[in-house]
Amino acid sequence: MKQEHSQTFPVEAFSRRTARSASSALDRWAVGRIQHAVAGARLRLALWDGFEAPASASAPVATITFKNRRALFSWLWDAELNFGEAYMSGGVDIRGDMVRLLEEIYRAWPDVKRQPWWFRRESHSVRTAKENVHRHYDLGNEFYRLWLDRQMVYTCAYFPTPGLTLEEAQIAKMDLVCRKLNLKPGERVIEAGSGWGSLALFMAKRYGVSVCAFNISAEQIAYARDRAVREGLADRVHFIEDDYRNVTGTYDAFVSVGMLEHVGLSEYHELGSVMNRSLTATGRGLLHFIGRNRPMPLNAWIRKRIFPGAYPPALGEVFERVFEPQNFSVLDVENLRLHYAKTLEHWSGRFEAEAGEVARMFDETFVRAWRLYLAGSQAAFNAGVMQLFQVVFARGDTNAIPWTRASAAAHT
């Protein structure tokens, strides 16, 4: 595992070549440019020789220290990609509150770019999808077990009150999904993208339904099948190692939690077709996904290092491409972005507590990359740069829909 990872994250080890030389006027000019780009953010910028730029705002939440010239100029060249690259490799250090620092940067950053011309052309073939998923979700169940909740739910939790434990909040989330789907005993559910199986098993156990759960991560499927057997649910929960595009059969409910981000815009119509052909006349569905207030590409570093091929869509993109062509009716949308910030806060805390173990499993660069990914995601949800949408839908012509929200409102 460690060797494979080293190929994925080439350590350029800037840190070992830390410039001993004093910073030049050019270096200080570069710092000024960077400070200008995030004007208003409460942060301090420093260089390897102790130089500190005059703080542009009072009470900085953290100090970013460039440990060598290469880190400094790579950020100037392409901050979106190279801040992450430099931090990961040790070319940049952060002292202070990393989440608040990143939130300051998100809020100060000039208005984001629209999608570049090449963006829609990324492949999301069945094969590429499998490779993309493998890169992230097959890092090893042992790794995820270190810092996820006991049930290994790797999506936004739901905190009826903010003080809940992560364990409780993940159960509350699964229950919320089931209530929104109005699941009844004996019904058949299709799940697209089932992670380590927690939702599929929860639905079967608590709501008495049978579930077909599709997933293309081999490690997750193996884990989930094992769990189904151990919990005596193997007869009612079938984990299928296959692409969602190969779903067959008809079901009373379609649910997908945290998969749409990996589907790719080019496949949205196909996803809608799958939903359409797999739902009964009175079937209903729920999509839970990370989204945006408007279309924009995912951060380049996250795409490169963490989630290849991922894209959090704007609601309009989902509605136009997934729902409208099939005449699905949107019944309910809820934005839970602050719940994802809270979830990530839990994950970061648990991850840091196990950072030494993670470094032994992989290496320090991996720890720094994941620290930045978790902190940056929390900051993005806090700053409103990312959203978490739950969308409930049904066929356009069925009146078998909830009269009000009251039926979905009870908490566990």
Q: Interface with a second copy by CB under 8 A: which residues?
A: 107, 159-162, 293-295, 314-317, 319-320, 323-325, 327-335, 337-338, 382-384, 387, 389, 395-399, 401, 403-406, 409
Closer to a second copy by CB, 159 or 239: give it.
159
Look up residue 61 and give its two tokens: 């939440």
Closer to a second copy by CB, 96 or 384: give it.
384
CB of 384 to a second copy, least distance (A): 5
CB of 250 to a second copy, least distance (A): 20
CB of 48 to a second copy, least distance (A): 34
Q: What is the CB-side half-sphere exposure of residue 299 using CA atoms within 13 A?
A: 23
CB of 107 to a second copy, least distance (A): 6
Residues 6+ apart with CB under 8 A from 103: 379, 382, 383
Closer to a second copy by CB, 297 or 308: give it.
297
SS3 state of residue 215: strand
CB of 387 to a second copy, least distance (A): 6
Among 215, 202, 214, 208, which Cα is nearest to 188's?
A: 208
Look up residue 363 and give its two tokens: 């290496």
Closer to a second copy by CB, 7 or 404: give it.
404
Handedness of CA 84, 89, 94, 99 (dihedral sign): positive
**Residue 99 phi, psi (nearest 5):** -65, -45
Q: Are 266 and 82 in contact (CB under 8 A)?
A: no
CB of 281 to a second copy, least distance (A): 12
Closer to a second copy by CB, 208 or 316: give it.
316
What torsion, rounded to 10 degrees, do the Cα atoms 80, 83, 89, 93 define? -160
Alpha helices in 157-266 (DSSP H): 166-181, 198-207, 218-230, 260-263
Closer to a second copy by CB, 186 or 325: give it.
325
Closer to a second copy by CB, 8 or 293: give it.
293
- Cα separation, 5 vs 194, in Å, equals 24
Q: Are 173 and 153 in contact (CB under 8 A)?
A: yes
DSSP 286-301: EEEEEEBSS-----HH
Closer to a second copy by CB, 89 or 382: give it.
382
Report the residue count for the chain.
412
CB of 328 to a second copy, least distance (A): 7
β-pair partners for 329: 394
CB of 18 to a second copy, least distance (A): 37
